[in-house]
Structure 1
């Protein structure tokens, strides 16, 4: 029996989800090392409504689709999967940034310290430390726009907690909290898979967004992680983003999509999603030409 779960087919504009239509899908997910090796793991049996494919190598989509010829494809997203090659030192990693970018990163850290009266960063690895991390990070996560608008905050359920604690028992969790003004204002959660750090969740207090706490936390965490000399890759996982593009050293062409059973309801759903995405892309292009895109994004996150 396939590991089938309820998966939302989302209709989103920027960071705001307008509609979510549930479908019972199995998931075929590709790790970074599989993407880089251009490897195809064993496919799962489809769920009741079909299959969700996450971050597959774009060049091998034809082979993936050929395994499920009767299913209807939709919701396709093509993107660069950003990652960091951690085989060098942190100093070498910093050297890839321009002098202007390095100066900007230092300035962000100084400004955060000055305006909050100083900050500290704690690292959490052991099960007890992960429990402390969750106690502080979960209330913060609930306030982030990722959680409010996209249901993409830290998962707050017994199964997710158990998974993190089991990983911590095997030394496969790295979590970080940035504290300022006596409270946590940013968090970063990184499961470890083999020699790869997986960028699972980053969030920050929206009241401190102008101080870039997520960026400050990311840089500090990377310095500590490079110092371990344990990891080969830092995987930013599926999806684009300025944060991922700035911190990544390399990228790979990947695609996510769903393959649904060819019922009338599923065909109608995917047709509506395709028309919606086309309309959003047209509006976005118009907003970019008019210079209004930044204001629209800010309004959607508000």
Structure 2
């Protein structure tokens, strides 16, 4: 039986949590192979108050709800799980992008190349990943991912080194005039590379270093011809849309055991989230009307 752990169900506005209610939940996160599977996914046995399921294909939502009859259910997030198919070569992959996308990528690379002497280095072995971590960590501390989201590179590289020793990690650094300005780290799960950490020096933001580095990383991955897919994981964004070749509509869903308290909690979360969504629509509209006066 999978062990449940206490997890906070947060009432948030933007990045600010007003308060949270804890429930003992079994957390289930599906990988890309699971997401692409045709048959419905099975939840593990439950020993807590419910499940928090991430990256559940939306087409399996109804079947998953049946796994906990009478449950209080709430979809907390909808998004496209994007990935790149690595079959074929980089030239074919690049040619499949729109002409506008290709032109934009070339312009960004040319702009950066005109501003500094550019170099990209790849890292693979445990010794190389140790070098990568030492160079990338100070850069990570400067990024918004670290400062605002707490999602920068881990301070302890032990897990990264363990994966690298098993040939299950790839990493890249982009240098400008000899100094690192962007990093990308991707652990491997089977024949899939996972988009885990990407960041760049905010002082170079106008040159799109993260995008430039992603292009060079994709060239390396295609040339190696070992991996089948590049998984851009949960969430969405322009960067992921630009480099993906496919997507699956997914949801993060909360399933709580039947009961008055759990139903009240889910109802409260839904009402709160709806109110926040409505406020986001109303405030910009009012602001726009004032500007027109």
Q: TM-score, normalised by structure 1?
A: 0.83
1:17–1:149 CA contact under 8 A, matched in 2 = no
User: What's 1:93 paired with?
Assistant: 93
SS at match of 1:44: coil
User: What's 1:202 paired with?
Assistant: 198
Q: Which ranges of structure 1 fall in alignment gaps of 5 or more residues?
A: 293-302
> What is the CA distance between 1:126 and its match in structure 2?
1.0
In the comparison of the two structures, how many residue pairs are matched? 287
Q: Deviations over 1:137-170 (max 9, x none)?
A: 223223322222222222335xxx3332222111
Inter-CA distance 99–289: structure 2 relative to 1 (3 Å threshold): farther
Q: Deviations over 1:172-197 (max 9, x none)?
A: 10111112244322111111111111
2:75–2:251 CA contact under 8 A, matched in 1 = no
SS at match of 1:253: strand
Q: Deviations over 1:237-258 (max 9, x none)?
A: 1112111111111111111122
1:17–1:150 CA contact under 8 A, matched in 2 = no
For 2:3 and 2:222, the matched residues in 1 are separated by 35
For 2:217 and 2:196, the matched residues in 1 are separated by 14
For 1:141 and 1:221, the matched residues in 2 are separated by 18
Q: Deviations over 1:209-253 (max 9, x none)?
A: 221111011100001100111121111111121111111111111
1:72-111 map, 5 Å: 72-111=72-111
Q: TM-score, normalised by structure 2?
A: 0.85
Inter-CA distance 286–111: structure 2 relative to 1 (3 Å threshold): farther
User: What's 2:35 paired with?
Assistant: 35
User: What's 1:150 paired with?
Assistant: 149
RMSD: 2.7
Inter-CA distance 162–59: structure 2 relative to 1 (3 Å threshold): same
SS at match of 2:139: helix
